[in-house]
Structure 1
Amino acid sequence: MIKYSLLNKLDIKNSKNITLFCNENFEIFNFKILGFAKEKLIKSLIQNNKVKNKKILLINLNDKQNIIVAKVNKNQKSLDNEKLGAEFYDFINSNSIHDISLINKNFLEKSLKDKFIDEFFHGIELKSYEFKKYKSKKNVNIFKFNIALPKDKKFKLDKTNRFKSLISGINFTKDLVSEPGNILHPDEYAKRLYSLKRLGLKVNILDEKKLKKLGMNSLLGVGQGSIRGSYLVCLEWNGAKNRNKPLAFVGKGVCFDTGGISLKPAKFMEDMTYDMAGSAVVVGLMKSLALRKAKVNAVGVVGLVENMPGGNAQRPGDIIKSYSGKTIEILNTDAEGRLVLADALTYTEKKYKPKFIVDLATLTGAIIVSLGSEYAGLFSNDDKLSNQLYEAGLKVEEKVWRMPLNENYNKLINSKNADMQNINYQGGAGSTTAAQFLQRFILNKTPWAHLDIAGMAFSKYNGALNSWGATGFGVRLLNKLIEDNYE
């Protein structure tokens, strides 16, 4: 937990851990504020402790006080500021430092225009996330920051509420992805989404009865082996004064994926609690937009199901009719996410007539083979939208890489018995043929992009801006896409 105190003056003598910012050569910007130490002494201590390529140094000034020196490069960009904050958090956490004073006032005054402090602490917040809900002893770490800022009564951290709302949305996404399947099943998930109405979101929940009436058999087929319900939940945010077409975001919400009758191997099946990460990203984004009162019209649509091998489960060889009217032969019940998205995509396009649609899903293991955990796979029918996503990803360290779509790939999912089959049984191009399948449910040439985040949604090692576990990948990416192009 991060706590902040904004102060015009700090008690230097009683500040145990003092943080100073320096330049590339580890030259402190202003020594004068440290009345208890001479400039030559601090310089010599820095030189004695300096390590090449190190960004942060801990200097023991005396038995009672430490100086933490953090290096800020000239013309540092927003992402660099965030990464420095994340690295700073790792540093103080590993050194068990919990009470920190930031006092390099002159540097802060020059950097406030670049939002350095907001971005620095945003990095700290991103990196400090932990999921300890089910620990009997939670041992919550509390980090207290005393920040010396200019004597400006109007000044406060995060004036526009941008970073606070973004962290709230990201952490909501991470919380959802981290929940076990016995807790966050579709019924519970739908209830949690309904509670977002208090933020000003319009929430519409389509249950099984309504879905059957609409003919969403593709989505319903995935969940029919579970005792839990299946849902399509629509979240609407109308923040623009005009009646512009909304931006649409669609997410796969398979709360637990056993593979169904085409049962997955037991090893690592426990990780399939995060097969709903695509939906969680959409939900976290919508929450963030509502909290910061984004001046944009947006809709988030998520399909919530549980894929179980019950007595009523869908079988390989079944043929179902989707909401679009197109028929699908089910050759593998573990290729279920695309079946959920198929109905969700067509419904979103038909009901909301959006400016564009971006869908997110932990869709294929093949994308991990292709791109590992560095890039999400991007498939699209629109160059402009693709370029916007690519550029936004670079700015926030949530990178995407465009993969091919082609008619020759599309032919691989043709079926002899129905309009299409849900997998390519000839083998190869698993991520692309899955995307080709989805593209068939964009009926009116709406600009569309599919993000396969299977390698990005959950991490078993610490990243630059995230801790172990759920990453929240996609919330910052889509928020940046909106900020830079549509607000």
Structure 2
Amino acid sequence: MQISFASPASVEAGVLVLGVFADGVLSTAAAGIDKQSKGALSRALKAAPKFKGGRDETLSLYGLPGIGTDRVVLFGLGKPDAVDAVGLQRAGGVVAALLNQTGAAAATARLDGVAIVGKDGAGKDGAAAAAAEFAFGVRLRAWRFERYRTTEKPEAKPTLKSLTVQTGEAAAAKKAFARADAVAQGVFLTRELVSEPPNILNPESFAAKAKELAELGIEVEVLGEKQMRKLGMGALLGVGQGSAFESQLVVLQWKGAGGKRRDEAPIAFVGKGVTFDTGGISLKPGQGMWDMKWDMGGAGVVTGLMKGLALRKAKVNAVGVLGLVENMPSGDAQRPGDIVTSMSGQTIEVWNTDAEGRLVLADALWYTQDRFKPKAMINLATLTGAIIIALGTDHAGLFSNDDALAEKLAAAGKAVEEKLWRMPLADSYDKQIDSDIADMKNITGSRDAGSIVAGQFLQRFVNKVPWAHLDIAGTTWSGKDTPTVPKGATAFGVRLLDRLVADNYEG
């Protein structure tokens, strides 16, 4: 879909989209249309008591007199003094969904008089930001995974082809949107990877997809099993040994910090990439196992994040490490009771082969901190069902050995509406994974505090690097539409981590 920006002008074709504040207070653009239609807009609002101008509300009007378009769509902005980026993104997403559902091909959103509160007292920057964030929401919601649809009827397909956003600060809005659109492209790569079926996306094809990022200036390295064996990555390799596909470790480097910061230590992101998780010999129940195609969600987020950083030329040194394996049962598969030696030299007794993600991350985290000496290290993983029991699908679990890093992550998540909830780490939990015959075991044998115990396991492989673990098992896939995320792969974490970088690590 094409998105463009222009100065306010009359609209003679397509759908006209206008904002309305809480309690039916008209925006500047809406007030102008009300006057042009001799009060028809105000009368329509009085006749539609359910539309109050609140967040996520819409109202379609037809045949207003004196208007060049046959249809006007109103969307709610909430209170004028509380207009923010997330609210405008949600508004754009809700409008995009409505227009696609009702057959619109082209639309013009007039945002005269709409500004994000707190941006430049005169409202100039706030107006540009408002237009850009609205367009960003439209872009995020309009994405659709269509690769395998072959018999869909035309009337079921999305119709919206173009959107023009009118604002008094069109040039500044276009510039702001370019940055947001770069992040959106990263989001879409993650959604695409997570949506792919496991017969298409395996460790080797995932690594090949990651190699394409070299076109954006990202340095890409792929380590195969022979190289990982030399490095002593017995934990990661044990998970993938039952698969017909070779396990891979992908290293992505974006060196965007220039000048005196050129050699600055990077911030590192590590992703669990189990492209399909049967549970291995500890086989999962068949019901719902199809969901396990997205057990590579953490690696998908890291890949999309790195693309977004490169596209927007982020002024930061960043490293992304993807641990890519397929967990399959076979005659070569890892067994419960096996002991593996990790790259760190620590030995792990494998009590359950379905607690495999932590084994992959053990070697990926150790490799990352050992090679790159990062200023901070964040891993993402669809790690435990226990986090879904604890937090549901609204928050991801946050575990960290560093309060300052945890606070930065929580703030970034709140700013982009990808919410985190901090969970505890403590010696009392750590002692539960001590093994009688190895340095540790990968589970406790109890269902108690499952996500916390997994976090404690990972912490044994980070040394003293400021580190955070995001358990995104409940937020990687959505069973329903939300204003900016269509049903399916969410890419939860891409916008969060991009915001973390922008607010805390760029020069």
Band of TM-score, shorter chain: over 0.9
Aligned residues: 483
After superposition, what is the alpha-carbon deviation per residue over 1:402-422, rounded to whole angstroms, capped at 9, x for unaligned?
A: 111111110110101100001
CA, structure 1 residues 67+249, in 2 after alignment: closer, same or farther (shift >3 Å)?
same
Matched, 1:224 2:222: no
Looking at structure 1, the residues matched to 30 and 19 of structure 2 have their Cα atoms a distance apart, in angstroms, of 11
Alpha-carbon shift at residue 249 of structure 1 (Å): 0.4
The aligned residue for residue 85 of structure 1 is: 92
The one-letter amino acid of 1:65's match is D
- Residue 307 of structure 2: SS of its match in structure 1? helix
Instruction: Measure, in 2, the Cα distance between the counterparts of 1:231 and 1:137.
Output: 36
- Classify 1:362/1:104 alpha carbon distance in 2 versus 1 (closer, same or farther; 3 Å): closer
> Alpha carbons of 1:291 and 1:16: their partners in 2 closer, same or farther (altered >3 Å)?
closer
Farther off after superposition, 322-331 or 66-75: 66-75
What is aligned with 1:128?
Answer: 142
Q: Distance in 1 between matches of 2:110 and 2:218?
A: 41
Query: Following the alignment from structure 1 to structure 2, what is the Cα–Cα distance between the partners of residues 304 and 104?
Result: 45
Q: Quote the residue 2:15 is aligned against.
A: 17
SS where residue 401 of structure 1 aligns?
Answer: strand
The change in CA–CA distance for 1:254 and 1:112 in structure 2 (over 3 A counts) is farther
* Partner Cα separation in structure 1 for residue 250 and residue 169 of structure 2: 48
1:148 aligns with 2:150: no
**Partner residue of 1:3?**
2
Q: Secondary structure at the match of 2:221?
A: strand
Q: Distance in 2 between matches of 1:113 and 1:316?
A: 59
Q: CA–CA distance in 2 between the matches of 1:342 and 1:209?
A: 18
Shift of 1:46: 2.1
Counterpart code for 2:492: F
Percent identity for Structure 1 against Structure 2: 43
Counterpart residue number, 2:74: 69
What residue is the counterpart of 1:401 in the other structure?
421
Change (3 A) 1:45 1:323: same
Report if aligned partners of 1:31, 1:39 keep a CA contact under 8 Å in 2: no
Equivalences for 1:155-234 in 2 at 5 Å? Answer: 155=172, 157-159=174-176, 161-234=178-251
Amino acid at match of 2:145: F
**Residues 42-66 of structure 1, C-alpha deviations (whole Å, 9 max, x = no match):** 2212222242545322112359612
Q: Secondary structure at the match of 1:134?
A: coil
Distance verdict in 2 for CA 1:100–1:264, change over 3 Å: same
Partner of 1:338: 358
* Greater Cα shift, 304-313 or 64-73: 64-73
- Residue identity opposite 1:381 in structure 2: N
Change (3 A) 1:7 1:402: closer
For 2:125, the equivalent position in structure 1 comes to 113
Matches within 5 A, 1:289-438: 289-438=309-458
TM-score w.r.t. structure 2 length?
A: 0.91
What secondary structure does 2:23 align onto?
Answer: coil
Q: Is the 8 A contact 1:50 1:57 kept in 2?
A: no
Aligned to 1:277: 297
**Displacement of 1:33:** 5.1
Secondary structure of the corresponding residue to residue 157 of structure 1: helix
Aligned residue for 1:161, secondary structure, equals helix
Q: Tell whether 2:61 aligns with 1:47.
A: no
Judge conservation of contact 2:203–2:324 (CA < 8 Å) in 1.
yes
Query: Cα gap change, 1:409/1:51 in structure 2, threshold over 3 Å: closer, same or farther?
Result: same
Q: 1:204 to 1:34 in 2, by over 3 A?
A: same
CA drift of 1:332 comes to 0.5
Q: Cα distance 1:30–1:217, how it changes in 2: closer, same or farther (>3 A)? A: closer
Q: Deviations over 1:2-49 (max 9, x none)?
A: 22344446564x324222223323233246754993442322122222
| Paired AA for residue 135 in structure 2 | F
Deviation at 1:308, TM superposition (A): 0.4
Residues 1:426 and 1:71: Cα distance change in structure 2 (over 3 Å): closer
Which letter does structure 2 place at the counterpart of 1:291? L
Give how far 1:71 is off: 2.8
Whether contact under 8 Å (1:81, 1:120) holds in the other structure is: yes
1:465 matched to 2:484: yes
SS at match of 2:60: strand
Q: Contact conserved, 1:283 with 1:300, CA < 8 A, in 2?
A: yes
Stretches of structure 2 that go unaligned for 5 or more consecutive residues are 117-121
Q: 1:202 to 1:351 in 2, by over 3 A?
A: same
| Separation in structure 1 between the aligned mates of residue 367 and residue 405 of structure 2, nearest angstrom | 21
Residue in structure 1 matched with residue 62 of structure 2 by the alignment: 60
2:270/2:365 contact within 8 Å kept: yes
Kept in 1: contact 2:51–2:58 (CA 8 A): no
Matched, 1:253 2:273: yes
Alignment root-mean-square deviation, CA = 2.1
Residue identity matched to 2:73: I
Q: With the length of structure 1 as denominator, give the TM-score of the two structures.
A: 0.94
SS at match of 1:100: strand
1:17–1:174 distance in 2 versus 1, CA, 3 Å = same
Q: What is the one-letter code of the residue matched to 1:27?
A: V
